[in-house]
Amino acid sequence: MTAPTPDSPPTLQVLHEVFGYAEFRGDQREIVEHVVAGGDALVLMPTGGGKSLCYQVPAIVRHRAGQGVTVVVSPLIALMHDQVGALGELGVPAAFLNSSLDAETARQVERDLLAGRLQLLYAAPERLLTPRFLAMLDSLRERGLLSLFAIDEAHCVSQWGHDFREEYLGLSVLHERFAGVPRLALTATADDHTRADIIARLQLEDARLFVASFDRPNIRYTIVEKDEPKKQLLRFIRDEHDGDAGIVYCQSRKKVEDTAAWLNDEGVAALPYHAGLDAEVRRRHQDRFLREDGIVMVATIAFGMGIDKPDVRFVAHLDLPKTIESYYQETGRAGRDGAAADAWMTYGLADVVNQRRMIDDGEAAEDFKRLQRGKLDALLALAEGHGCRRVRLLDYFGQPSQACGNCDNCLQPPATWDATEAARKALSCIYRFHQNGGQRFGAVHLIDVLRGKATDKVAQHGHTELSTYGIGADVSEAQWRSVLRQLVALGHLHTEGEFNTLALSASAREVLRGDIQLLLRQASESPKRGKSARGGRAARDKPPPLPLDDAGLLRFTALKAWRGEVGRSHNVPAYVVFHDATLAEMARECPQSLDALAAISGVGAKKLEAYGQEILRVLSSA
């Protein structure tokens, strides 16, 4: 890392000196400079893109220039706690005010705040909106010591998302009461609806909009057909993520419990997390996930917001998320450190059926349901598509791109087959059922009839007499399932009632007429993932970024053990002390002096001073 010169801009000096990073990433530099100069901004950046630096660097620069404190509005206590802990390690005076503090500590924080000692103060919106807090802000403002408002997770102001927080609506007060104090709103949710809501509700009409690239190139996307999902998951973890930290998302609490228990039986260290667990158990599980190496968290979507553990190596979905936004936000929790990571999902007909059902049976107004259906369709198109997954994802966020070479479809282009004829057969068979007594049937029965399997049920309903009986014997069961799933996904078929019987939608007519061609993924009879299919993990760029020779590995292990102790004694997660990537670079370069150590990415001035000598000692004795 090149040392900053006295005439580097102050933003870059802070990045080097405080954070120990060589360069800004992507749009960070432009955002930071705009905010330091006093501009308002709305920043859309994917999870893991580096949003925190966008307000932390301006906060430090502006405080050094005598402009006072930055107030960060954040919805989650755990997040505030981690961020303040990390800033403490960097030597930046920061604190939070929330309900977890005892009265005496809270008063001390208030004294520090009013005296202008803090560079950043984190607070939940409900706290910020209290008369007491607003009065303190008034006092700071009058003395020119209120520098900046950063509104994190700004999508919480929008009712369209699932993270809506009533208290966020009150934040319009910032603009009204503290006009002239710059405001920076940040979110990873990028759809137009949410964006418009944020701008309107926070009165950010004049703010500059920064839309970062939503690409997360280090994440590999894979979507497999559901076969035996738990076994598929286990194989995926064993083959590619043995000993890694990861998150497995399930829809129901019960499935979370079952899956976690099963993984443990199979020797994978897994913990459950869902809103039905005792708060204390949840806290303990989250804590272990953050602090220990290699824990797999099996969770509902109640887990994740505000988890900025950088070394989550995979995010697996056993159930389909609701929208591409949720999928992207959840998968974005993998690989924040920039090293290779996986987003892996299994998906089947039941997922499609369940999601459609949840929308149809929901309490929401019809226009909201229509919006939800549209979002589900986009996600299904992603799951069924045979083109590059990343191209489709980025396209959804309005960003054109080229085939990525790092998703399942790029790495192993799926065979396709023309299923137009098969689809017509299936639809006309359903039509015949209906003509023949008005009854509806589910997928299993339909496939039996198409394949000419004379089960009792088939005989009982006289379906051996149908003209469609046995017309699809040449198509395998798995292929039929894929045809039906994709017909449901595309909306030509839908399901009804508690038995999920199949019914034709209006657009089925076009398929029946042959106006719509269906090119489908070839259903694989047995999942062909695993080592041979992907070249195994050796082919991957795994962290720590190897190659480390044997001596280097020894040093890395010694550094990790040292880091674990420091983390425990400072009561912060290990990655707050140093990231894996930083330790790996130390192990590889084996610096012999403090100057050489300072050149390693992630080593800022404070950490050099606090830990430099110890690290040199650990390195020399490993």
Q: Which residues bind Zn ion (CB under 5 A)?
A: 388, 390, 404, 407, 410
Q: Where in 48-107 is the site for ligand ADP (CB under 6 A)?
A: 48-53
Joined together, the tokens standing for residue 299 give 């969770």
Which CB atom, from 53 or from 493, has the smaller least distance to ligand ADP? Answer: 53
Which CB atom, from 307 or from 407, has the smaller least distance to Zn ion? Answer: 407
For Cα atoms 323, 328, 332, give the angle at the middle one, nearest 5 degrees.
155
φ, ψ (nearest 5 deg) of residue 94? -145, 155
Least distance CB 291 / ligand ADP (angstroms): 16
Which CB atom, from 387 or from 491, has the smaller least distance to Zn ion? Answer: 387
Which CB atom, from 336 or from 375, has the smaller least distance to ligand ADP? Answer: 336
Per-residue binding letters, 311-350, with ligand ADP (x by CB under 6 A): -------------------------xx-------------
Candidate ranges 42-50, 219-227, 461-469, 481-489; the one touching ligand ADP (CB under 6 A): 42-50
| Residue 404 near which of Zn ion, ligand ADP, none (CB within 5-8 Å, type-dependent) | Zn ion
* Alpha carbon distance 379, 490 (integer Å): 11
Pairing between β-strand 416-418 and β-strand 519-521 as defined by DSSP bridges: antiparallel
Per-residue binding letters, 258-287, with ligand ADP (x by CB under 6 A): ------------------------------
Least distance CB 338 / ligand ADP (angstroms): 7
Least distance CB 294 / ligand ADP (angstroms): 18
Residue with tokens 């087959």: 417
Query: Which of 21, 168, 178, 303: binder of ligand ADP (CB under 6 A)?
Result: 21
Q: Where in 173-202 is the site for ligand ADP (CB under 6 A)?
A: none
E strand segments, 60-113: 69-73, 94-97
Which CB atom, from 24 or from 149, has the smaller least distance to ligand ADP? Answer: 24
DSSP letter at 523 equals: P
Least distance CB 108 / ligand ADP (angstroms): 27
Which CB atom, from 271 or from 576, has the smaller least distance to ligand ADP? Answer: 576
Q: How many residues bind ligand ADP (CB under 6 A)?
A: 17
| Residue 49 near which of ligand ADP, Zn ion, none (CB within 5-8 Å, type-dependent) | ligand ADP
* Alpha carbon distance 344, 352 (integer Å): 17
Which CB atom, from 405 or from 462, has the smaller least distance to Zn ion? Answer: 405
| Residue 24 near which of ligand ADP, Zn ion, none (CB within 5-8 Å, type-dependent) | ligand ADP
* Alpha carbon distance 22, 563 (integer Å): 22
φ, ψ (nearest 5 deg) of residue 293? -85, 145
| Residue 410 near which of Zn ion, ligand ADP, none (CB within 5-8 Å, type-dependent) | Zn ion
Count helices and strands in the chain by DSSP H and E runs? 28, 17
* Alpha carbon distance 305, 588 (integer Å): 34
| Residue 106 near which of ligand ADP, Zn ion, none (CB within 5-8 Å, type-dependent) | none
- Nearest by Cα to 93 from 124, 130, 68: 68
| Residue 390 near which of ligand ADP, Zn ion, none (CB within 5-8 Å, type-dependent) | Zn ion
- Nearest by Cα to 69 from 137, 152, 168: 137
- Nearest by Cα to 483 from 518, 510, 448, 451: 518
CB 65 within 8 A of CB 34: no
Name residues whose C-beta falls within 8 Å of residue 277's C-beta, 6 or more positions apart in sequence: 285
Q: Where in 569-588 is the site for ligand ADP (CB under 6 A)?
A: none
Return the CA Rg of the chain.
27
User: For the stretch 20-59, what's the b/e string if a residue is b when 16 or more beta carbons lie within 10 angstroms of its beta carbon?
Assistant: bbeebeebbbebbbbbbeebbbbbbbbbbbbbbbbbbbbb
Which CB atom, from 78 or from 388, has the smaller least distance to Zn ion? Answer: 388
Candidate ranges 24-32, 154-162, 378-386, 558-566; the one touching ligand ADP (CB under 6 A): 24-32
- 24 belongs to the binding site for ligand ADP (CB under 6 A): yes
* Alpha carbon distance 535, 240 (integer Å): 10
Which CB atom, from 86 or from 419, has the smaller least distance to ligand ADP? Answer: 86
Least distance CB 401 / Zn ion (angstroms): 9
Residue with tokens 């259903």: 523
* Alpha carbon distance 40, 62 (integer Å): 14
User: For the stretch 548-576, what's the b/e string if a residue is b when 16 or more beta carbons lie within 10 angstroms of its beta carbon?
Assistant: beeebbebbebbbebbeebbeeeebbbbb
* Alpha carbon distance 26, 246 (integer Å): 26
Look at phi and psi of residue 91 and say left if phi exceeds 0, alpha if psi is from -120 to 50, else beta: left
Joined together, the tokens standing for residue 104 give 């005496």
- 555 belongs to the binding site for ligand ADP (CB under 6 A): no
- 607 belongs to the binding site for ligand ADP (CB under 6 A): no
- 310 belongs to the binding site for ligand ADP (CB under 6 A): yes
Which CB atom, from 74 or from 495, has the smaller least distance to ligand ADP? Answer: 74
- 47 belongs to the binding site for ligand ADP (CB under 6 A): yes
| Residue 425 near which of Zn ion, ligand ADP, none (CB within 5-8 Å, type-dependent) | none
What is the CB neighbour count within 10 angstroms for residue 84?
19
Least distance CB 306 / ligand ADP (angstroms): 9
Least distance CB 49 / ligand ADP (angstroms): 4
Least distance CB 45 / Zn ion (angstroms): 21
Query: Which of 244, 308, 448, 585: binder of ligand ADP (CB under 6 A)?
Result: 308
| Residue 241 near which of ligand ADP, Zn ion, none (CB within 5-8 Å, type-dependent) | none
Least distance CB 289 / ligand ADP (angstroms): 16
Kind plus residue range of the DSSP H or E element containing 240: helix 229-240
| Residue 348 near which of ligand ADP, Zn ion, none (CB within 5-8 Å, type-dependent) | none
Pairing between β-strand 493-496 and β-strand 120-123 as defined by DSSP bridges: unpaired
Which CB atom, from 54 or from 270, has the smaller least distance to ligand ADP? Answer: 54
| Residue 342 near which of Zn ion, ligand ADP, none (CB within 5-8 Å, type-dependent) | none
E strand segments, 124-182: 146-151
| Residue 494 near which of Zn ion, ligand ADP, none (CB within 5-8 Å, type-dependent) | none
- 518 belongs to the binding site for ligand ADP (CB under 6 A): no
Joined together, the tokens standing for residue 14 give 């802070």
* Alpha carbon distance 224, 412 (integer Å): 12
φ, ψ (nearest 5 deg) of residue 553? -60, -40
| Residue 156 near which of ligand ADP, Zn ion, none (CB within 5-8 Å, type-dependent) | none
Question: Which residues contribute to the site for ligand ADP (CB under 6 A)?
Answer: 21, 23-25, 28, 45, 47-53, 308, 310, 336-337
